[in-house]
Amino acid sequence: MSGVLGIYGKNVEKISQMMYYGLYALQHRGQISTGIAINNNGFIDYYKDIGLVNEVYEEDDLKGLRGNISIGQVRYAFSDEGIDKKNIEPLVIGYKNGALGVAYDGSIANYCTLKEELEEKGSIFQTDLDSEVIANLIARAGKKDIVESVKLVLEGLEGSYALVLMTKDKLIAARDIYGIKPLSLGKIGDEYVVSSETCAFDTLGVDFVRDIEPGEMIVIDNNGIESIFKKKEARSFCAFESIYFARPDSVIDGRSIYLSRLNMGKTLFKEAPVHADIVIGAPDSGIIAAVGFSQASNIPYTIGLIKNKYVGRTFISPTKELREKGVRIKLNVLKENIKGQRVVLVDDSIVRGTTIKRTAQMLKEAGAKEVHIRIASPSVTHSCHLGMDTPSRENLIGANKTVEEIKKGIGVDSLYYLSLEGLLDSLGDRGFCTGCLTGVYPIGKDGKKCL
C-alpha cells in the first residue's frame, strides 16, 4: 500500500512543488515515509525521509531539487515491518547505462524467488523493497535499450504493481496485467503526470487523460508518449481499494469511488432493511455508505460520532489502565443525537473487530435504544499477499467467528454484511479481485520464504 507519482515536465522550476502537492494528495495511501527523486540532465538527486509529506520537506529542500523528470512515493508500513530508514522510496541506483529511479506500489508474489536467483548471481541487497529486486533485474537484463530491459523484467514479475521509473531522459509507468493497483495518466500543457489516484490531478490542476490499462507500460520522453502492451488478463482491480483505501474523490478505471460507496450503502439497505430512527456513519470510511443507506431507506442521516482530526501516525496507544477507564481518544459520541434513538451504524468493513465493538459500546453507553450494524462489504476472511496490509487469518474476526457470534460479541441488536453479489453489483461489474473476502486471488502465493 503506497502512492506513486511521476511527472515528465518542461518547467524545471516548479516540478518539485508539483511533486510535493501531488504526494500530499496521495498521503492516505501511506504515512510512514516519503521521497522525491528528480532527474537533472542525467543526474538523479533525491530527498526522502520518515514522516508525512508536510513534515518531511522544507521549502529549501524542494528548491534544491531541480530537473525535468521526477518520481515520488508515499509509503505505508506493513504491520510485519518496523520503521526502517533503508526502506524509503524512490530507490535511486546507478548502473552501466546511467542512473535509474524506481517508485512502486504493490507486492511481487515471486519476490523471494527472484531475490534468491539474483543473490546466486552475486547481487547485493541493501533494502527489503520490491523495487530493489526490480532495479537489479533491469540492470542485469543486458539490453542496451532501457525500454527493452523493463519490458523483459515485467514479463517475469508476478503480483500486483503500479510502477514509475525514471531514467536520464524517460519516465516509464507500468501496471500489472490484472490491474490490481490503480494508475492514471494526466496532462497539463505539454507535461505528463502519472499518479496512483486521480485526486492528485485535481489538486494539481492536471487534466485526466486515461487510466493506464492493466498490463500496459507507457514510455514518456521528448518524442511524446508511447504505449506498450504486454499479455492481457481479465481485469481484477482490488475491491478493497473501492471499499476502504482509495480516496472518494478519485475515479479509477472509469468508476467513481464515491458513487461505488454510495451504491454499497443503498444495496446494503435493500439486502438488510431495518426500522430505525437515524443512520450514522463510522468516520471517515463509513460515511458515504451511510448516506447511501439513508437515501435508500429514507431514514435520516445524521452525525453520531466525532473523530479527533489530529490523531495520526504518531498516535501513542493508551495503556491498559486507561483503556479500561474507557478513554475516547480517536472517537467520541454525539450524545445529543444518539440518546433514546434506534441507530443504524454503517461502517465500510470489519477487519479485527476491535473498532466496531468499541464504537457499538459507546453508542449503547450514550443511551442508544437499539444499535444495528450494517457493513458495506462482505466479511474480511483472508489475508492479502498482493499488497493490501490485511492481518493474518488468526487475527481476522471474520475468519474465526460466525456472524451470529460476532453480533453477540459486539453486543448489538443486529449485524449484517453486504453480500459479495451486492458488492459487485454496487461496483458495476465483475472485474475485481475479492481475494480478502473469498480467498480466490488472481495470482497465487509463491510459497517461497525469503531467507
Residues in the site for ligand AMP, rule: CB under 6 A? Answer: 244, 285, 347-356, 389
| Angstrom distance (rounded) from CA 241 to CA 38 | 29
Considering beta carbons, is residue 234 or 322 the nearer one to ligand AMP? 322
Considering beta carbons, is residue 194 or 380 the nearer one to ligand AMP? 380
Instruction: Please tell me whether residue 91 adopts helix, strand or coil conformation.
Output: strand
* Minimum separation from the CB atom of position 279 to ligand AMP (A): 16
- Phi/psi region, residue 128 (left: phi>0; alpha: psi -120 to 50; beta: rest), is alpha
Considering beta carbons, is residue 130 or 348 the nearer one to ligand AMP? 348
| Angstrom distance (rounded) from CA 214 to CA 231 | 9
Considering beta carbons, is residue 34 or 149 the nearer one to ligand AMP? 34
Considering beta carbons, is residue 351 or 437 the nearer one to ligand AMP? 351
Chain centroid offset of residue 83 CA:
18
Amino acid at 408: K
* Minimum separation from the CB atom of position 420 to ligand AMP (A): 18
DSSP secondary structure string for all residues of 357-378 = HHHHHHHHHTT-SEEEEEESS-
Considering beta carbons, is residue 398 or 422 the nearer one to ligand AMP? 398
Task: Say if CB 88 and CB 43 are below 8 A apart.
Answer: no
* Minimum separation from the CB atom of position 399 to ligand AMP (A): 12
The separation between the first and the last C-alpha atoms of the chain, rounded to the nearest angstrom, is 23
Q: CA-CA distances (angstroms) from residue 70 to 106, 213, 407?
A: 20, 22, 50
* Minimum separation from the CB atom of position 271 to ligand AMP (A): 19
Chain centroid offset of residue 372 CA:
29
Considering beta carbons, is residue 45 or 348 the nearer one to ligand AMP? 348
Q: CA-CA distances (angstroms) from residue 146 to 5, 228, 229, 351, 375?
A: 20, 13, 16, 42, 47
* Minimum separation from the CB atom of position 347 to ligand AMP (A): 5
**Please, which residues bridge with residue 1 across strands?**
none
* Minimum separation from the CB atom of position 240 to ligand AMP (A): 7
Pairing status of strand 224-229 against strand 216-221? antiparallel
Considering beta carbons, is residue 38 or 373 the nearer one to ligand AMP? 373
